[in-house]
Chains A and B, each alone.
Chain A
Amino acid sequence: MKPSVTITKGSSGWGGPLTVYETETRKVVASVTGGSIHPLAEKIASLLGVPVVDAFNNKVEPDTIIIAVVDCGGTLRCGVYPKMGVKTIDIHPISPSGPLSKYIKEDNFVSGTTLDCITQSGEAVPSEPEVSGQAVPEPAEIKESSPASGGNQFFNFITSMGRGIGSIVNVFYQAGRDTLDIVLKNILPFMIFVSIMVGIINYTGIGDLLANAIKPLAGSLPGLLGLSVFCAIPFLSPVLGPGAVIAQVVGVLLGVEIGKGTIPIAYSLPALFAINSQVGCDFVPVALTLAEAEDDTVSAGVPAMLFTRLVTGPAAVLVAYLLSFGLYS
């Protein structure tokens, strides 16, 4: 039986896991990383018992590639191979992007991969020792052919330095992409919503009405304590929680009133806690699942959290009140 290899994504990567093996037509691992053959490609090839080719210096027919290893920062190469129907590993942790992003799917692409992410799949056990014994000289052969492009130590140093700089640049590039993603999907839509709300409050007379209603609540310590208990009432808090939308809207309202001077500026800190004593109450079971809690823990933990908030809600307002002494005075 032919050996197969499973490749998973790295800690901040995307896609996969992919399982690859040699077929009738696909017989090589391609390294498209520039300079020399990437250790990832070498490891996969040796586990599969197939040759590895430096596709940067040698032309390789896409139809013959089992899997391609690329070091693309998220523009072209990461999409080119998936588009040609070749499974691809990107050593940089990128998510689908670039003009060809629509071809990048979880079943043909995995990124952020490190050497630890590569495991040999079970079916290869009998032939494994033989295969790895055979495979070692093969990558070496190919490597001998690449020194034609200058395989001395100096060249290697330049390559590895270039790769180092490249990977740091790519980290920032991807970070920028992630940032823009959340700005477009979450932050800007909320900014627009808030602006409409502020527009209505400022232009119509509603602002003054609201001010009269909010002032006794948010403009005094007992009012804030009452607000925090109200938000923490166990059957209300899960309703007030989702997406923190209520807390955010009230935050904006209070901000407008603080800006007008209706609410004393020193109350901004306790107010931040008073309007948010319901935080997370809608999300407890999901969060506990993420924390791999058992059913018993969930059934005890949910009421425990909801009920303690009745006490810890106002407690937070008190702490914030004490910490606000000397703020902006």
Chain B
Amino acid sequence: MNVFVKLAEGFTGIVSAGGENLMGLITGILPNLLILLTCINAIITLVGEDRVMNFSKKLTRFRLLRYTLLPVISLFFLTNPMCYTMGRFVEEDQKPAFIDACFSFAHPITGLFPHGNAGELFVWTGIAAGITKLGYSTMPLAVRYLLAGVIVIFIRGNATEFLTKKIMAKNKGGAAK
């Protein structure tokens, strides 16, 4: 009998510990998230997809912007997963690199702008919860996450562009033989 009581107690303990955590998430993060997502969704509608598309077409020519500003704009305005459609404006052999840059920015953007990838927040929110628990603001980490993200996507974009071109050249050589 005692075993069952212990089991029941243990189970209720887990449930109430989980419930407490859920309450914290719902009262702590959710209200701000709702307001922020709504405001940014509205801004995106007001700015209009067409204008973003036109502006982005002009950015694709410059290597520096193609793997920094362009993925940032794509994720901010079109969000995951529609941001990848912006890839149709870049050259064919740069598309994988652009996609790589978008992927790699899909989480760094969530620190400051959760709407960019609202379905996958917990990479950021999970770690940020630890910072909050220690009594610090998560803002310094969010800003650095974004900055580091921009540097990382520039590195990844260039690396992937380089290797894509190599592989394409090799594939073509093989086909010619």
A residues apposed to B, CB below 8 Å: 11-12, 93, 168, 171-172, 174-176, 178-180, 182-183, 186-188, 190-192, 194-200, 202-204, 243-244, 247-261, 263, 265, 268-269, 271-273, 275-276, 279-281, 283-284, 286-288, 290-294, 296-297, 299-305, 307-309, 311-312, 315-316, 319-320, 323-324, 327-328
Instruction: Determine whether the beta carbon of B119 is less than 8 Å from that of A175.
Output: no
Complex: A202 Cα to B18 Cα, angstroms: 9
Complex: A250 Cα to B102 Cα, angstroms: 22
Q: Which A residues are in CB contact (< 8 Å) with B45?
A: 12, 93, 171, 174-175
Q: How large is the interface on B (under 10, 10 to 19, 20 to 34, 35 or more residues)?
A: 35 or more
Instruction: Determine whether the beta carbon of A195 is less than 8 Å from that of B156.
Output: no
Q: Is the interface of A mostly helix, strand, loop or mixed?
A: helix
Instruction: Determine whether the beta carbon of B171 is less than 8 Å from that of A300.
Output: yes
Instruction: Determine whether the beta carbon of B84 is less than 8 Å from that of A290.
Output: yes
Contact of B130 among A175, A268, A286, A300 (CB under 8 A): A268
Q: Which B residues are in CB contact (< 8 Å) with A11?
A: 48-50
- Min CB distance A166 to B, Å, is 14
Complex: A195 Cα to B22 Cα, angstroms: 5
Sample of 14 A–B contacts (CB below 8 Å): A12-B44, A12-B49, A175-B39, A194-B122, A196-B18, A197-B18, A203-B13, A272-B124, A287-B87, A293-B95, A303-B167, A304-B163, A304-B164, A320-B144
Instruction: Determine whether the beta carbon of B127 is less than 8 Å from that of A254.
Output: yes
Complex: A280 Cα to B39 Cα, angstroms: 27
Besides the known contacts A250-B126, A251-B122, A301-B96, 19 further A-B residue pairs in the complex with CB atoms under 8 A apart: A12-B49, A174-B41, A176-B34, A182-B119, A183-B37, A195-B18, A203-B10, A248-B121, A255-B127, A256-B130, A280-B99, A280-B104, A286-B81, A292-B88, A304-B164, A308-B100, A309-B156, A316-B104, A328-B131
Complex: A11 Cα to B77 Cα, angstroms: 12
Instruction: Determine whether the beta carbon of A198 is less than 8 Å from that of B96.
Output: no
B residues apposed to A, CB below 8 Å: 10, 13-22, 25-26, 30, 33-34, 37-39, 41-42, 44-46, 48-50, 81-82, 84-88, 90, 92-93, 95-100, 102-104, 106-108, 118-134, 136, 140-141, 144-145, 147-148, 151-152, 155-156, 159-160, 162-164, 166-168, 171
Complex: A293 Cα to B160 Cα, angstroms: 15
Instruction: Determine whether the beta carbon of A175 is less than 8 Å from that of B96.
Output: no
Instruction: Determine whether the beta carbon of A255 is less than 8 Å from that of B129.
Output: yes
- Min CB distance B59 to A, Å, is 15
Complex: A214 Cα to B75 Cα, angstroms: 32
**Given A182-B118, A265-B136, do A291 and B107 touch, yes or no (CB 8 Å)?**
no
Instruction: Determine whether the beta carbon of B151 is less than 8 Å from that of A291.
Output: no
Complex: A174 Cα to B119 Cα, angstroms: 19
Q: Which B residues are in CB contact (< 8 Å) with A305?
A: 96, 99-100, 160, 164
Q: Which A residues are in CB contact (< 8 Å) with B171?
A: 296, 299-300
Q: Which B residues are in CB contact (< 8 Å) with A247?
A: 107, 120, 123
Contact of B19 among A180, A199, A309 (CB under 8 A): A199
Contact of A279 among B13, B103, B151, B159 (CB under 8 A): B103
Instruction: Determine whether the beta carbon of A194 is less than 8 Å from that of B130.
Output: no
